[in-house]
Amino acid sequence: MKVMVVGSGGREHALAWKIAQSPLVDRIYCVPGNAGMAKVGVCVDLPITPDGFDRLADFAEKEGIDLTVVGPEAPLVAGIVDVFSERGLKIFGPTKAAAQIEDSKSFSKRFMLQRGIPTAEGVSFSDPDEAIDYIKSKGAPIVVKADGSAAAGKGSFVCMEVEEAINAVKAIMVDRIFGEAGRKVVVEEYLEGEEASFIVLTDGETVLPLVTSQDHKRAYDGDKGPNTGGMGAYSPAPVVTDRMAREIIERIILPTVKGLREEGRPYVGALYAGLMITDEGPKVLEFNCRFGDPETQVILPRLESDLVPALLACIEGRLSEVKLKWRDEAAVCVVLASGGYPGRYEKGKVIEGVEEAEEIENVVVFHAGTAVKEGKLVTNGGRVLGVTALDRDIPSAIRRAYRAVERIRFEGMHYRRDIGHRALRRLGLL
């Protein structure tokens, strides 16, 4: 089989790395890929923006690609799956209509509230004054979210003061700091608890949960500083017990998949529920229409089974035939970022020590923003590498991951030193 992976981040490297281990696969194409993906596949420099979908489908036809797997949300919400499917090309991911669950917070809030899927109480507004009146009537703490996914995970403001929430509405809707993603806002109740990511595969009917995980969104230790794409992750997330996982599937995942089907938007792909585990049980903070990044970098190394048959079964509507086998070991991923990230940063810094890090057993270094220039591995983005380690439990995996991190250097490199701290606390080790 020939498989094409769309995207260029750590998540896509993890997908390509796992797919490359499949005995069914003899060739991988990565569009556009990165320096790490170039080691498991052939990188193809084609655009993955909407105006390039037809060219990408032409390429898939010409090369006889049997399966395309899409990593990031942008091509999904723009309808890459619709374009490929219409041309009879197999592609893993939701259609544009189904991807609304991530692309519009007002859609997903309405959907959840109407169907009794546990989430924060909230209202969507297309008029900033109405949003502000509502905020004043509710008081703080309160959460303001830009509607669209183009805000790229930075569109949510957790506000401890009314004034702050009002400013968030103005920034999103009047100043349009996220562009069109700010045509509407959702204002919602502040939830307290511990977060967890719950990701499933689905063919639109059957759901197959992946192991649980948790990422670290803030830039600095102690969950301080600005939000990022994710500075690290661990799996399993001890906050999600087996009983809790069953509750999440019964009360959240299955009603969501059923609801989308009933609304004529059958969902096929990876469905990611970002949850807050509150005293009243799990509640949805957001849905994503894809695998998590960096959650995938801790989930896939724990997967013992071949991923490819599961992806194909989703597309072919026979996921009920598939079982996944998982390793008992825990996984921890530490993201190494460029100096200045998530703000401005420079590119082109020489990276050293990746091979030495991977000499440690059960360590994989996933590339995100990397490139090769004049024969040298250099930084090429904000999040540069994700160092994943597997070990018998979370504390050991943390130690192993940081041992590997210590072997890697580039100018300005920064990373969090407390990845997994919530898991350690829950396990009574902090």
The single residue among 147, 203, 295, 306 that binds ligand GLY, judged by CB under 6 A, is 295
Percent helix, strand, coil in the chain (nearest 5)? Answer: 35, 30, 35
Cα 63 from Cα 172, distance rounded (Å): 43
The single residue among 82, 103, 203, 286 that binds ligand AMP, judged by CB under 6 A, is 286
List the x/- string, 196-235, binding to ligand AMP by CB under 6 A: ---------------------x------------------
Cα 107 from Cα 126, distance rounded (Å): 13
Q: Is 288 in the site for ligand GLY (CB under 6 A)?
A: yes
Tokens of 291: 């695998």
Tokens of 240: 């999600």
Nearer to ligand GLY, 41 or 292 (CB): 292
The single residue among 5, 67, 169, 191 that binds ligand AMP, judged by CB under 6 A, is 191
Q: Is 326:41 a contact under the CB 8 Å cutoff? A: no
Nearest approach in angstroms of CB 408 to ligand GLY is 21
Binding-site size for ligand AMP (CB under 6 A) equals 15
Nearer to ligand GLY, 31 or 270 (CB): 270
Quick one: what does residue 191 bind among ligand AMP, ligand GLY, none, with the CB cut-off 5 to 8 Å set by partner type? Answer: ligand AMP
Nearer to ligand AMP, 106 or 156 (CB): 156
Nearer to ligand AMP, 83 or 120 (CB): 120
Cα 12 from Cα 214, distance rounded (Å): 18
List the x/- string, 188-227, binding to ligand GLY by CB under 6 A: ---------------------------x------------
Nearest approach in angstroms of CB 44 to ligand AMP is 31
Q: Look at the block and give the residue holding tokens 């969104």.
A: 217
Q: Residue 272's beta-bridge partner residues?
A: 199, 288
Quick one: what does residue 73 bind among ligand GLY, ligand AMP, none, with the CB cut-off 5 to 8 Å set by partner type? Answer: none
Q: Is 379 in the site for ligand GLY (CB under 6 A)?
A: no
Tokens of 285: 């903070």
**Considering only residues 122-151, where is the footprint of ligand AMP by CB under 6 A?**
143, 145
Q: Is 188 in the site for ligand AMP (CB under 6 A)?
A: yes
Nearer to ligand GLY, 36 or 294 (CB): 294
Question: Tell me, what DSSP letter sits at residue 320?
Answer: G
Q: Is 4:29 a contact under the CB 8 Å cutoff? A: yes
Q: Is 342 in the site for ligand GLY (CB under 6 A)?
A: no
Q: Is 11 in the site for ligand AMP (CB under 6 A)?
A: no
Q: Which helix (H) or strand (E) holds 12?
A: helix 10-20
3-state secondary structure 153-209: CCCEEEECCHHHHHHHHHHHHHCCCCHHHHCCEEEEECCCCEEEEEEEEECCCCEEE
Residue 297: CB atoms within 10 Å: 35
Q: Look at the block and give the residue holding tokens 């609801």.
A: 259
Q: Is 70:57 a contact under the CB 8 Å cutoff? A: no
The single residue among 32, 50, 52, 153 that binds ligand GLY, judged by CB under 6 A, is 153
Which residues would be at the binding site for ligand AMP (CB under 6 A)? 120, 143, 145, 153, 156, 158, 188-191, 195, 217, 274, 285-286
Which residues would be at the binding site for ligand GLY (CB under 6 A)? 153, 215, 230, 288, 292-293, 295
